[in-house]
Structures are given as structure tokens and as C-alpha cells.
Amino acid sequence: MMDKPSTTSLLRTKSDQLVEAISAAMGGGTKSSPMNGDVAGGGGGPETLSRKSSRRLTGASPGRSGGGRNNTHIRKSRSAQLKFDLDEVSSGAALSRASSASLGLSFSFTGFTVPSDEIADMKPFSDDDDIAEDIEAGTRKMKIQAEPTLPIYLKFTEVCYKVVIKGVTSTREKEILTGISGSVDPGEVLAMMGPSGSGKTTLLSLLGGRVKEPTGGSITYNEQPYSKHLKSRIGFVTQDDILFPHLTVRETLTYAARLRLPKKLTKEEKQKRAIDVIYELGLERCQDTMIGGSFVRGVSGGERKRVCIGNEIIINPSLLFLDEPTSGLDSTTALRTVEILHDIAEAGKTVITTIHQPSSRLFHKFDKLILLGKGSLLYFGKASEAMDYFSTIGCTPLISMNPAEFLLDLANGNLNDVSVPSELEDKVQIGNSDTETRNGKPSPAIVHEYLVEAYETRVAESEKKKLLAPMMIDEELKSKVVTSKREWGASWWTQYSILFWRGLKERRHDYFSWLRITQVVATAVILGMLWWQSGGDSPKHMQEQAGLLFFIAVFWGFFPVFTAIFTFPQERAMLNKERSADMYRLSAYFLARTTSDIPLDLILPVLFILVVYFMAGLKHDVCAFFLTVLTTFLCIVAAQGLGLAIGATLMDLKKATTLASVTVMTFMLAGGYFVKEVPVFISWLRYLSYNYQTYKLLLKVQYKEKNDWVDGIKVGNGVKEVSTLLAMVFGYRLLAYISLRRMKLHSGA
């Protein structure tokens, strides 16, 4: 019974400390700030401390400091029951430290620094809070983001976009977007909503510069058109989580930091930035866990999405675009993700996201909203005023309903459980079969037409006037946007080195899988047993061993082709994403991707030759053994080049495997073992066949000193064959590089 008074006394002491701290922050004759009129949960209810103070300290943007002040989003802490309008507080930093000390709050993305002598005063009520918890568990322990970013004001007016659909006999144009206008300022989160196929992703890609310019309208960044220099200031999170499954969270973010951050930062500073982002996003518990994928266990869906966000915010972007970042996440994880976006926006960044069907809690956290339907604009404005606007045009929910669900129903033309505007009721009463459905409601097409017309007559004109009015932007901000100089985050050699080691780490799991090792070793053992100690000087023995040598040339000419074919088609999405962000030069990527396979490709062939060579009783000579290994390696690298060229040229796995099957079979038949005398008109195929060149080299290594002719093939000095294979090694790769260079990235890079 003695615990209750003690607990009450403790709480009273904490409350007194809070009041004293706030009084000290406001002191010096400052008037007491009025209570905010918007009280969550009704009049007189408990109020919470707003986290908007963080943005006041870093300098609020003009677009946020005006009318949005009364529409401040309230964030509830674990212990606080008071909320003050911090706009009237003269010393925001002191108040923030005082509230943090009493309430155990942590601020992120804002630039706060905590003096070392105040750390003890910032201990929360419970020692359990010292443990870093995952965001999905309900708390976040974040560190401080780096230097401030360039504020970018994004405006788009009458944006239209069309695509050309090519049919069998004719082509036609399809309109994806029609006359979309809007704006978003630093410090704001703009959400784009609409049913599937309404044009959300297309609009997001247009604003982010990921597709070609719109067919109509204008998009400006600080009153300037898009330029390639903006790539370094834009973060774009795609809908699909495009990550390497075998890299850990820390490795993924570290490689991104080393490739994307400016050259002026040292390697250690870039690595520190990656660690900071890990803590900002609450990923410290899984930082050494592999990302995972379809066949590899890894981090959770929410953690994977946060890694994708971290890949973009690591460069401290001015503009952050996200395509459905909450898809596939549960409501709690989705809420935490959106809160992260708010923290990012509060640091002076401009955030634009598409969202499919948010919960009511998520919906109320957005500052601005764009509602699309069939490519047309149904609403643009403050998210908090969307329900009021639709009520003014006669559309109100008849039952308690999630606002997002209500808006999506309207965008789909569904008026179930929604009041029907009088104008539409008149059309239904006329009884026109074109406008009436079985339940007496207007058809979706008529509803869509009405909503578009209502927006254009009531809101569109006033919004367009605001957008057309020139913004008072400093000339320095404009000049930084239009700078045409392309800046790489690392030198060519550094890019190559980073991509080389990343490729080794990612693909070592595939190369050294038990399935592949078993395949190679089992084949080698079977060959060794079939040609067990078959060596000899007689023509019969040489002819038998010639079959073994030809099989070695065929096996190591077939195996690498069908491995290399998948290289670029499988990495196309990653290549699109990283090249769109100007992470590296294509030449550095191509060379690193092709050379990082070489050390891995050498190990299994050596193991294969070790087993076969001595079991089959081939020539007992050290030089002959190493020449056999070298010849096999030349064949592998040439075959790889063919596979890379086919894959990069077609970029379609079905087409590529079909073409590769026909090509490899042709090269094998022309390899000199099955057909001794090839007709003249097709004899040129032999010189294109790496199987034929490898077969001749293997015969030369084994039998040059014994006989000039083996199995109907003249054994030469090998110079011609080696030159031909080297030409194939470089020629096929050059063709692959040219094909990649000509490839059109979907992202518009």
C-alpha cells in the first residue's frame, strides 16, 4: 500500500519539472502561448506536445509556415498530455530539450544536438527504453541527419501524357493523364490517391524525371525545368523492392553511400553516413542480416521497404518520390513508414508519394492530396479539406467511413453508401438507360464526368492562378537547379572497384552452391570412370581420348553460355534503378560485372580438370596440365562472352535461350568431331565455333609431340586457335556493351 503515494509523488515531481522547464524556455517576459484550437478527441480533452518545433529550428519553408500552421499534425508521445503552439515560443531549442528531458522523446532529421552534460537529464522513466527497438515494435531510436538540403519548390501545370499503342495493323494513342496541376513545397508530404490504372505511377515518374517529358503542360523545380543535374538531388523509391538478396542491410547501404555521396567525402565519412541512416530508420537490429528474396530468407517486408528508403535518403535529397511505400505492409508498419516520411519532410525536404488505400490514421498524416480518376484530376488541395470539398458538391458518406475509402469509391464512380448529388439524381429520375444502373444509382462514367466538371468549375481556375503566379525564389536557388555539370560520386576506378567487390559478394552464393558443385564433380567422376586410364600412344587410344577432349570442349562451352545469358536480363531492373540515379558509369559497371565472374569461374573448372585429368590418364606433364586448364579457361571466357552478347542484345530470357540453344548446337556440330569434312559453303562456321578452336588446342597440348594428325584434324602450333579465342573473348563482350549502351532504360536515364 506504500507504493501508491510514492508513485504519485514521482509523477507530481516529473510534472513540476516539466512546468519549470517550459517556464524557463519561455521566460524573460514572454507571453504565455495560447492553446491550439484543434484538440484531438474533442474539446477539453488531453493535448500532446507537437513535434513541429523541429522544423521551426531548421527554418520552415514558405509553403508550410502560412495556412498550414493551424493544420499541424499532432504526434502523441508515451508520457505527455500537453500540447502547445510552438510558433509563439521564442526559444524552441530550449523547450525541445526540456520536453525531451521530461518525456523521453527523441527527434530525428532535424539537426538537434544534445550537450553531453544534459544526457543524464534525458533518461526516460524506464530503463527499458534504453534498448534500441525496431520501428515495427512501436518505437524508433534515430540519430541526426547530415547537413541541410537545397529547398526545391515543385510545380506542375496542365500535365498531359500519351502513349502510342502499336497494333498488328494500326497504331493508336492512349491518354494516360489529362490536365493535372498541383504544387508541393519543402516540408510537405503530398499523397497521390486513385484506383489502379488512374495514372498515379505515371505522374510520379514524370515529376521525378524517370520518363520522358510530358506531351503537354509544364513541370518546374524552383521555377526551372528539369535538368540532369537534379538527379543528384532526387531520391526515387520504386514500388518493387529492387535489392540484391545476398547482401546485408549494412553492405547495401554502404555500397550506395560510397557510390552516390560526393567525392569530397572520405570513405570513412561515407560509411559513417550509412550507419547513421541505419539508426535513423531503426534498422540497427537487422543491419547484419541478408536482405533476402524469393528463395533466400532475410529481413521482413517493412525492413526491406525501409532499406529502399534508406538507399535514397542517404544522399540527403531535396526531393523524395515514393511509389506505394506501404503496399504489402500491415497497418502499424505502414503508419511507422509514413511517420518516417514526415520526419524526412520536417527537415526541409519535399516528399511526394503514391498510396493505394491508406487507413484513416495514415490519411490524416498527409499535408496535401491529389485524387486521380481515369487520368483526370478530381481533387487537389489540403488533405484535411478533401471531405469538406466533396460535401460542398453533394457527396457525403451516409455511414461512418474511412475518408480514403470514401474518396476511392468516388474515384471509381461508386456511390453506394454515398449521398447522390441533386444534379445526378435528376438524371436518374429521367430514366435514361445510359445513366442508370440496376440499383438506381448513376453509372460510374456519369459520376466521373460529374466529379471532373465539378472540380474544374469550382476549384481548378483558382488553383491554376496560384500556380501561374511567380514565386519569390532566390536567384541562387534557381541557379543551383539548372547547373548542367554532371557530378559522379566516385572516380571511374573507384566505381569499378566497388562494383567488382559487390559482385563477388553477391554471386559467390550462386557459384558455390552445393547443386552446382555436385553437378561439376559428378560429371567429372563419370567421365573419369568412362575413360579410366585410357592413355596410350596407339591411334586407337588417341582416338578414344579425342572423344573425351571434345566432350570437355563442349561441356565448358555449353555451361557458361546458359549461365551468362541470365546476367543482364535478370539485373535489368537494378541497372535501370541505379543508372537512373547516376550511381556509376555504364563502362565501370560492365567491366566490373564481367571481370568479377572470372575468379569464380576459374575454381570449378580447375576442380573438374583435376578429377578428369588423372582418372583418364592424360599426359603426365606439369606443363601439359596447366596448358589444359588454360585452354579450358579460354573456352569458358569466350562462351561467356557469347552468352552476355545474346542476353544483352535480346533482353528477353525466352528469346535468348532459344537463340543460344541453336547457336551452341551449331557450334558443337561444326566442332570437328562429328563431321570431319564440312562443305565449303558452310566451312566458315568452324572458325566461329569456340568448340572447334578449343578442341584443336586440347589435341595440340596432348599429342603434338606424337602425331601431326589426330582423328582427322591437323594439329598446328596453336597460335591461330589462341588468337581466334581471344578475338571471341573481346568481340562478344564489345557487342554486349554496345547493346547495353543502346538499351533504353524505362526510367528515362
User: For helices 492-511 and 249-260, what crossing angle results, to 10°?
Assistant: 160
Average pLDDT value for residue range 529-548? 80
Among the residue ranges 61-70, 180-189, 419-428, 530-539, the one predicted with the least confidence is 61-70
Among the residue ranges 142-151, 404-413, 471-480, the one predicted with the least confidence is 142-151
pLDDT tens for each residue of 214-235? 888 999 998 888 888 888 889 9
3-state DSSP percent of the chain in helix, strand and coil, to 5:
55, 10, 35
**pLDDT band, residue 745 (cuts 50/70/90):** low
Q: At residue 636, does pLDDT exceed 90? A: yes
User: For helices 597-615 and 586-595, what crossing angle results, to 10°?
Assistant: 20
Report pLDDT for 461: 82
**pLDDT band, residue 58 (cuts 50/70/90):** very low
Report pLDDT for 238: 92
Report the C-alpha gap between 60 and 67 in whole angstroms: 13
Q: At residue 196, does pLDDT exceed 50? A: yes
**pLDDT band, residue 575 (cuts 50/70/90):** very high
Exposure letters 318-332 (e unless 16+ CB within 10 A, then b)? bbbbbbbbbeebeee
Average pLDDT value for residue range 369-389? 94
How many alpha carbons lie under 13 Å from residue 133 in its C-beta half-sphere? 12
Block residue for cell numbers 471532373: 452
Report the C-alpha gap between 688 and 685 in whole angstroms: 5
Dihedral angle computed from the Cα positions of residues 37, 39, 42 and 47, in that order, rounded to the nearest 10 degrees:
-140
- Percent above pLDDT 90 for the chain: 44
DSSP string, 209-246: T-SPPPSEEEEEETTB---GGGGGGEEEE-SS----TT
Element (H, E) at 381: strand 376-382
Report pLDDT for 369: 96
Q: At residue 307, does pLDDT exceed 90? A: yes
- Of 211, 242, 287, 258, residue with least CA distance to 578: 242
Residue 390, C-beta contacts closer than 8 angstroms, at least 6 positions apart: 379, 396, 406, 407, 410
Please list the residues that pair with 220 across neighbouring strands.
Answer: 155
**Do 713 and 672 touch, CB atoms closer than 8 A?**
yes
Residue 345, C-beta contacts closer than 8 angstroms, at least 6 positions apart: 186, 187, 188, 189, 351, 367
**pLDDT band, residue 427 (cuts 50/70/90):** low
pLDDT tens for each residue of 664-705? 999 888 776 787 777 878 888 888 889 888 988 998 888 876
Report the C-alpha gap between 598 and 691 in whole angstroms: 19
DSSP string, 166-188: E-SS-EEEEEEEEEEEEEE-TT-
Report the C-alpha gap between 79 and 15 in whole angstroms: 10
- Of 662, 577, 641, residue with least CA distance to 241: 577
Report pLDDT for 711: 63
Which domains can be identified in the chain, with CATH numbers? 3-131 (no CATH), 154-472 (3.40.50.300), 492-742 (no CATH)
Report the C-alpha gap between 318 and 593 in whole angstroms: 31
Report the C-alpha gap between 467 and 219 in whole angstroms: 11
- Percent above pLDDT 70 for the chain: 75
Report pLDDT for 417: 86
Q: At residue 428, does pLDDT exceed 80? A: no
